[in-house]
Amino acid sequence: MTHDRIKVAIAGAGMVTRHHLIAWSRVSQVDVVAIQNRTPAKAQRLAAEFGIPKVYGGLEEMLEKEKPDALDIAVSMELHAAYARTAAEYGVAILCQKPMTPTLAESEALVADIGQKVRFMIHENWRFRPQYRQAAAWIAKGRTGPIQQFNLSALSSGLLSRNAEGVPLALARQPFMARMQRFIIMELLIHHLDTIRYLMGPLVVFGCRTNRLSADVTGEDMALILLKTTDGALGTVCVNLSAAGFPPVSQDRLELIGQQTSILFENNQLRLIGDKEETISFDAADAYQKSYDGAIAHFVECLRSGQPFETDCADNLATLRLVEEAYRQAAL
């Protein structure tokens, strides 16, 4: 970018858009100039709250009139490819909410079509959570030695606990999940696969099993994936949204077993276990928002510097290949 201030347009006015807008408000020299949603009334409420001057019902009209430097795509994933291609036609840099598209084949086609036309980053925010950045820093400093085993899980009663209307809390928060044929791996566990890949490097899926425990969803709500690294470390990622007795909002548990020391994250505490132990506490809500803050700050920093995005298209395709292989091995 040759000019100081970056003009950003937002596409989408759903649940995550609020977190995006909070993050954008914390980045200097950025102006959110417009927001678009196919139901403009929803966008109007966010525009009023965050002081966004223009609201549009159509994407092309917004891009034509506002001429933004970047488009933050936070619409449903079925629309990601169309929105990204339109942004590329207008020469606008793209930040796209994960997953890039519903399938690996669609994502590969999208990346091929856009090529080098514009800068293109996937908003894969989980790895930007401060506890995972700290864990990565400990590993990079040699505090653990080589990691020999890893496990990352998230258990929740979100499909068991219900609100006053009898709707499962997870679906009251994100109703679209009830209709997803490919649910828990594509919607949630994709984050955990990406985070483990960020911490451990390239991964291979060598086993996957899923289950549908709740009658309120169409797709799988529990999955267990077996993984190995190129160095031979073994591990798992596991998610279950129908876990009785657990909180309705899932909390991650991470175990990284090193040759020298190990890392444990649970109950919002990150611990280095063994020689020279260390404990860092996190506020769950703050860490969640900071994942959005970190991803968007990184996007802006790379736009300004010209440096590659950490979660560019090629990087995200590696995560999507793990997702596809997990579904293949689960025969879904």
CATH of 127-282+318-329, picked from 3.30.360.10, 3.40.50.300, 3.40.350.10, 1.20.1250.20, is 3.30.360.10
Give the orientation angle of helix 130-140 with respect to helix 190-200, to 10 degrees: 20
- Nearest Cα neighbor of 322 from 212, 242, 228, 211 is 228
* Beta bridge partner(s), residue 266: 269
The pLDDT-based confidence of 3 (bands split at 50, 70, 90) is: low
- Nearest Cα neighbor of 183 from 152, 228, 213 is 213
Please, where in the chain does CATH 3.40.50.720 lie? 6-118
Mean pLDDT score, 196-202: 98
Mean pLDDT score, 211-226: 97
pLDDT in tens, 22-66: 999 999 999 999 999 999 999 999 999 999 999 999 999 999 999
Where is 131: in which H helix or E strand? helix 130-140
- Percent of the chain as helix, strand, coil, to the nearest 5: 40, 25, 35
pLDDT in tens, 68-124: 999 999 999 999 999 999 999 999 999 999 999 999 999 999 999 999 999 999 999
pLDDT in tens, 237-271: 999 999 999 999 989 999 999 999 999 999 999 99
As its CATH architecture, domain 6-118 has: 3-Layer(aba) Sandwich (3.40)
Please, where in the chain does CATH 3.30.360.10 lie? 127-282+318-329
